[in-house]
Amino acid sequence: MKQVIVESFGGADRLELHDTPDPQPGPGQVRVRLTSIGLNHADLMAREGRYKIASGDPPFTPGIEGGGVIDAVGQGVSGDRVGQRVILTPDAPRNAAGGLGGTYRELYLCADDQALPAPDAVPDDQLGALWLPYLTAYGCLVWKQQIKPGDVVALPAASSSVALAAAQIVKHHGGVAIGLTTSPDKVERLNQLDTAAYDHLVVTHDADRNMKPWHRDLRPLAPNGVDVFFDPVAAGAYLSTEIKCLAQHGCVWVYGLLGAADTVDVTPLIRKHAAIRGWALSELVAAGPDAWLPACRRILDGFAEGWCRQHVDAVYPLADVRRAHEEMHRGRHVGKLVLTP
Ligand SMILES: NC(=O)c1ccc[n+]([C@@H]2O[C@H](COP(=O)([O-])OP(=O)(O)OC[C@H]3O[C@@H](n4cnc5c(N)ncnc54)[C@H](OP(=O)(O)O)[C@@H]3O)[C@@H](O)[C@H]2O)c1
């Protein structure tokens, strides 16, 4: 099979496609022929050596999500599983300790119960691209924050796959979803996208990427303030503006590292009894299947019921993995980027 291996940290040119032996399923295991591997910023950071907690030292295979079709089973697993369309559970990819256990490959071995049957509503190219956008948003907004009907939720990086998923989840729970985008040139695409569930969109930067006084556009949309910011950009003046716009008892959830570190004025938190908290999907995964399995099922139901609908911006053959990483780095996309072996 083909498998991507990073032999040393660095740019996209470090992603090498290797021929490796087809893995054979052992007792209790299934083999998944991957049709879909979601691309994530974490993969770029791992390749650059900025996410060693996940990648370990090279050599390693990137990739933290995947899905496809079971093509072989080991001893003790029903032969009926062969041919089933499945999604790897969020705890299945193991590129931490093992190094070579990431999903950038054609064939993936996992335990039988780590391959969840997928509903017909999830297309083949999305089988491996659901959990990072949807579980990241669901885990924070529903499992931790427990958003309520009427809550005003602001979603920076509005064109990102996580924010697009978050807006659908907010709307489904009766909240108001306000997208914040740094890219004026993406507004028209977002407005035309039927998978973008935002009630409103606010542009935070001008065409030269200088931050605007965007609180002036946000305030009329949220006269009592914003209850929740769910933010991968949070830093410096951007985060100070969010704090200024928070409602009483509001919360800024920080889940990404897209902003450049800088000074932040936290003093309004005092009179608002408000908070800044950190969120990582790993918290939900570490809480075990009793926590994440119901969340996975809720999202799969959401696809079957139609309130979850993902926008895939582009699908790249696994052999084009370098180009896919370069595109994600450029940040011109809207929604999810996917690799398909
Ligand atoms: N904590 C967790 O568990 C977890 C899980 C998944 C993802 N994440 C993080 O969530 C973020 C979004 O992930 P994603 O996969 O949805 O990414 P993505 O689809 O590639 O989205 C990136 C978007 O972020 C916005 N952005 C704002 N400032 C940026 C900057 N300085 N550099 C690059 N992009 C910037 C842009 O949206 P606009 O043009 O609309 O502003 C850009 O299109 C990443 O930081 C990722 O690491 C965290």
Characterize the bridge pairing of strands 226-231 and 246-254. Answer: parallel
Give alpha helix (H) positions in the chain.
Answer: 41-48, 52-55, 131-138, 161-172, 187-192, 215-218, 236-245, 268-272, 281-286, 289-305, 321-330
Quick one: which atom of ligand 1 is closest to the CA of 161?
16
- Among 108, 113, 106, CA closest to 93: 108
pLDDT by position in tens, the chain (length 341): 999 999 999 999 999 999 999 999 999 999 999 999 999 999 999 999 998 888 889 999 999 999 999 999 999 999 999 999 999 999 998 765 447 889 999 999 999 999 999 999 999 999 999 999 999 999 999 999 999 999 999 999 999 999 999 999 999 999 999 999 999 999 999 999 999 999 999 999 999 999 999 999 999 999 999 999 999 998 999 999 999 999 999 999 999 988 888 999 999 999 999 999 999 999 999 999 999 999 999 999 999 999 999 999 999 999 999 999 999 999 999 999 999 99
Quick one: which atom of ligand 1 is closest to the CA of 257?
45
Q: Kindly state if the Cβ of 279 falls inside 6 Å of ligand 1.
A: yes
How much distance in Å is there from the Cα of 24 to the middle of ligand 1?
A: 36
Q: With pLDDT > 70 as the criterion, what percentage of the chain qualifies?
A: 99
How much distance in Å is there from the Cα of 77 to the middle of ligand 1?
A: 39
Query: What pLDDT score was predicted for residue 211?
Result: 96
Query: What pLDDT score was predicted for residue 95?
Result: 60
Instruction: Give me the CATH code for the 132-281 domain, please.
Output: 3.40.50.720
- Among 49, 15, 8, 28, CA closest to 319: 15
For residue 209, give the amino acid letter.
Answer: R
Out of 3.90.1280.10, 3.90.180.10, 1.10.3080.10, 1.10.10.10, which CATH number does the structure's domain 2-130+314-340 have?
3.90.180.10
- Among 103, 113, 92, CA closest to 38: 103
How much distance in Å is there from the Cα of 71 to the middle of ligand 1?
A: 34
Q: Kindly state if the Cβ of 256 falls inside 6 Å of ligand 1.
A: yes
How much distance in Å is there from the Cα of 214 to the middle of ligand 1?
A: 19
Q: Kindly state if the Cβ of 89 falls inside 6 Å of ligand 1.
A: no
How much distance in Å is there from the Cα of 113 to the middle of ligand 1?
A: 30
Query: Is the full-model pTM beyond 0.75?
Result: yes
Q: Kindly state if the Cβ of 184 falls inside 6 Å of ligand 1.
A: no
Q: Kindly state if the Cβ of 108 falls inside 6 Å of ligand 1.
A: no
How much distance in Å is there from the Cα of 72 to the middle of ligand 1?
A: 36
Quick one: which atom of ligand 1 is closest to the CA of 204?
41
Quick one: which atom of ligand 1 is closest to the CA of 335?
19
- Alpha-carbon distances of 263 from 195, 213, 241, 260, rounded to whole Å: 35, 17, 12, 10
Q: Kindly state if the Cβ of 328 falls inside 6 Å of ligand 1.
A: yes
Judged by DSSP in three states, 125 sits in helix
Query: What pLDDT score was predicted for residue 52?
Result: 87
How much distance in Å is there from the Cα of 31 to the middle of ligand 1?
A: 31
Contacts of 156 (CB under 8 A, 6+ apart): 163, 180, 181, 182, 204, 229, 230, 231, 232, 233, 234, 238
- Residue ranges of domains in the chain: 2-130+314-340, 132-281
